[in-house]
């Protein structure tokens, strides 16, 4: 599954630069923006780990397949946390346009358009594909796939070991991707085999507006 292009920078160095800009702003904005200090501390720790891993993976004397894999893991964890922070704290006031620019983000478009918020609710149905792969298809609970606002689907998911506490609500899911297909395939890491994947989906239109959450479903990763 190809990763979609979105607001994250296209290089790891640029991602590090972006998160450092965020952490600098957090020094004065945490309370104003309502961000708990532990969120900033976790992001700082993940950024430091990713920065160190990148240095190791790029150095000709320390670059190994293991170092490369560890670098990917560190950046996956960092970008997951960045997406979560943006989703929870950056999408509503009191941020102003200059804040978004300083964070390296595009200010929200306040120009009125005819686009409306999708109202359809969609449920995930999973199916087996192969080792470390699960297929997902989307079943409309309400609304219609023919509605022009229903351009695609934002799939949120988390992978937990058996026995770990499952997510209490869709907002607890950490990873996401966007697809315009009626069904798609998610490829998991080798070590995820035997773990439980939890999913929920929102209809998302061409303006990035998302509809109501569908219910959480779970499946065993083969």
- Write out pLDDT tens, residues 34-90: 889 999 999 999 999 999 999 999 998 998 999 999 999 999 999 999 999 998 888
- Among 102, 132, 154, the domain-final residue is 102
Does the residue 109 lie in any domain?
no
Query: Are residue 84 and residue 171 in the same domain, yes or no?
Result: no
Q: Domain boundary at 70, 102, 134, which? A: 102
Q: For position 111, what pLDDT does the model report? A: 55
Residue 43 lies in a domain: yes
Residues 137 and 182 in one domain: yes
- Parts of the chain with a pLDDT under 70: 1-5, 93, 109-115
Is residue 181 in a domain? yes
| Residues 137, 127 contacting (CB under 8 angstroms) | yes
> In whole angstroms, how large is the CA radius of gyration of the chain?
19
Burial of 71 (0-12, 13-18, 19+ CB in 10 A): buried
Residue 69 lies in a domain: yes
| Statement to judge: residues 142 and 169 lie in one domain | yes
Q: How many residues does the chain have?
A: 222
pLDDT for position 1: 31
What is this structure's pTM?
0.50
The domain in which residue 176 lies consists of 121-220
Does residue 112 belong to any structural domain of this protein?
A: no
b/e for 111-148, b at 16 or more Cβ within 10 A?
Answer: eeeeeeebebbbbbebeeeeeeebebebebeebeeebe
**Number of domains making up the chain:** 2
Same domain? For 132 and 179 the reply is yes
* Residue 28 covered by a domain: yes
Indicate whether 147 belongs to any domain.
yes
Residues 129 and 93 in one domain: no
Collapsing DSSP to helix, strand or coil, 21 comes out as helix
CATH classification of the domain holding 168: 2.60.40.10
Angle between helices 37-58 and 12-33 (to 10 degrees): 170
H/E run at residue 86 = none
Do 209 and 128 belong to one domain? yes
Instruction: Using the 3D structure, point to which of 102, 129, 158 is the last residue of a domain.
Output: 102
Q: Are 22 and 43 in contact (CB under 8 A)?
A: yes
- DSSP 3-state assignment of 207? coil
Strands (E), the chain: 121-130, 133-142, 152-160, 175-179, 183-187, 196-204, 217-220
Q: Are 74 and 131 contained in the same domain?
A: no
Do 79 and 157 lie in one domain? The reply is no
**Token reading at 189:** 């890491």
Tokens of 191: 């070590």
Q: Quick one: pLDDT at residue 192?
A: 93
């Amino acid at each position: 599954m190809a990763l979609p292009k979105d607001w994250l920078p296209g290089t790891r160095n640029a991602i590090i630069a972006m998160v450092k800009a965020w952490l600098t702003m957090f020094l004065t904005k945490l309370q104003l923006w309502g961000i708990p200090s532990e969120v900033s501390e976790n992001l700082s720790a993940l950024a430091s780990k990713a920065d160190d891993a990148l240095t190791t993976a790029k150095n000709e004397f320390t670059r190994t397949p293991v170092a490369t894999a560890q670098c990917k893991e560190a950046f996956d964890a960092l970008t997951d946390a960045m997406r979560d922070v943006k989703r929870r704290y950056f999408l509503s006031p009191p941020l102003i346009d200059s804040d978004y620019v300083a964070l390296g983000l595009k200010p929200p478009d306040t120009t009125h358009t005819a686009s409306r918020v999708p109202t359809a609710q969609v449920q995930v149905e999973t199916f087996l594909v192969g080792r470390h792969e699960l297929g997902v298809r989307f079943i409309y609970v309400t609304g219609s796939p023919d509605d022009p606002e229903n351009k695609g689907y934002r799939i949120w998911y988390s992978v937990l070991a058996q026995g770990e506490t499952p997510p209490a609500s869709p907002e607890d899911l950490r990873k996401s991707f966007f697809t315009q297909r009626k069904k798609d395939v998610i490829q998991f890491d080798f070590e995820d085999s035997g773990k439980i994947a939890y999913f929920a989906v929102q209809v998302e239109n061409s303006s990035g507006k998302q509809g109501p959450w569908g219910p959480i479903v779970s499946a065993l990763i083969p």
